[in-house]
Amino acid sequence: MKKTNNTHKCKYIIIGAGIGGLSLALALQRLNQQVLVFEKAPEIKEVGAGVMLTPNATRSLDSLGVLKEIEKDATLPKKTIVRHYQTGKEMSTTDLGDDFTKKYGHPYYDVHRVNIHSSLYNSVKRNDMNCIKVNHELIDFFQSESFVTAKFNNNLVVEGEFLIGCDGIHSLVRKIIKASDNPNYTGNLAWRGLMPVESLPEHQRGPEINIWIGPKKHIVEYTVKSGRFKNYVAISNVKDWHEEGWTVRSSVDQALAEFKDWHQDVRNIISATPQDECYKWGLFDRNPLGSWSENRVTILGDAAHPMLPFMAQGAAMSIEDAIVLSRCFVKYENPRKIFESYENERIDRTAWCQLQSREAGQLFQKISSREDLDSDRAQRGKILYEYDAPRVKV
């Protein structure tokens, strides 16, 4: 690639200003590194939806110095209740209150995505006003022995020592270095919606997480924004679907029709979704990759390990990746050693998460007993929640 007057230089070229890219930028800044983050969207904004932050995620966000800001508007759900789809009967309850927080050293929070994203964004900007470049879409890159040169859609060329693709589920960086992207439609379509809790009956405004399960369908609902809004994700088996993305509009009536014979509380929530706030998307699945890096380029977050949402771990895994990778960058100089230690620490864990998320989706839809649920949860919880990204050996 030819150098021009339009060529800029920096050590770390981060592609994508989602939760993963911003976490990496902040983690590196906190280790006194300078970064540039390139985002293709014309402005930095997140979709309006909830995210569950398990203790491994809150521990990671705490180490980045943003948890205090996020928790101002978080909900502490206190418990998860699994309910029968027609009777509403409690099939299983898991404590997420004080004992849970004490056990893992960090809380479980339900938050609005915008709160996580804006806390990360504001912290990165406070460290360096000019390091996030919007309206910059990566279109190609080229590697030499000692540099990587990135080219953007506005003809800007940036030369750096490393390029990190945090460019999400349809990652161009992954396509270039791994040349594989064969997602399979899982047969599940998801609807999501968000509404003020005042639009629901009083008994449905509590902070707990409810998981309603029935044949080939389930719905997860919880409050965000300090309990002011209810968020839900409803999953149903639908044979044909071709689009993968979060922002396909749906109608409330269509979502309601899918859950027409479900408990009134479920139908109350779907009915209360504002007409312009009901979205649907097809759930696609990909197999784990065996490696993520090539010379001076690597990937992180959904770009590296897109996963189904059934264990609520996608954002958590991208924040963990960011912390571990930043530590590898400052510990080692040799690119091969940096990425080897990053991959050694992260690939097995995230591959496990991808496969477990796949299984969890199937389990939810054929659950028959309380024992199934309890043993499944206990096993997964320990491996997931105790992970300490700021302290694992790299």
* Interface residue list for ligand FAD (CB under 6 A): 15-21, 38-41, 51-52, 57, 137-138, 166-169, 172, 190, 192, 233, 246, 301-303, 309, 312-316, 318
Smallest distance from ligand FAD to CB 32, Å: 23
Smallest distance from ligand FAD to CB 166, Å: 5
DSSP character string of 43-101: S----S-EEEE-HHHHHHHHHTT-HHHHHTT-B--EEEEEEETTT--EEEEEEESHHHH
Smallest distance from ligand FAD to CB 326, Å: 15
Between 18 and 160, name the residue whose CB sits nearer to ligand FAD. Answer: 18
What residue has token string 């312009």?
A: 276
Between 6 and 264, name the residue whose CB sits nearer to ligand FAD. Answer: 6
CB atoms within 10 A of CB 130: 7
Smallest distance from ligand FAD to CB 365, Å: 16
Smallest distance from ligand FAD to CB 211, Å: 12
Smallest distance from ligand FAD to CB 89, Å: 25
192, 229, 241, 266 from 251: Cα distances, Å: 11, 19, 16, 16
What contacts 307, CB < 8 A, 6 or more positions away? 313, 314, 317, 350, 353, 354, 357
Smallest distance from ligand FAD to CB 334, Å: 26
Between 138 and 328, name the residue whose CB sits nearer to ligand FAD. Answer: 138
Q: Closest Cα to residue 168, out of 47, 57, 340, 250?
A: 47
What residue has token string 């390091």?
A: 131
Between 204 and 313, name the residue whose CB sits nearer to ligand FAD. Answer: 313
Task: State the number of CA atoms in the 13 A half-sphere of 378 facing the CB.
Answer: 8
Between 52 and 114, name the residue whose CB sits nearer to ligand FAD. Answer: 52
Smallest distance from ligand FAD to CB 124, Å: 13
- What are the φ and ψ backbone dihedral angles of 79, each rounded to 5 degrees? -160, 160
Between 158 and 368, name the residue whose CB sits nearer to ligand FAD. Answer: 158
Between 302 and 343, name the residue whose CB sits nearer to ligand FAD. Answer: 302
Q: Show the DSSP H helices in the chain as ranges.
A: 19-29, 55-63, 67-71, 98-104, 113-127, 172-178, 252-258, 264-271, 314-331, 335-364, 370-385
Between 21 and 214, name the residue whose CB sits nearer to ligand FAD. Answer: 21
What distance lies between CA 150 and its chain's CA centroid?
26
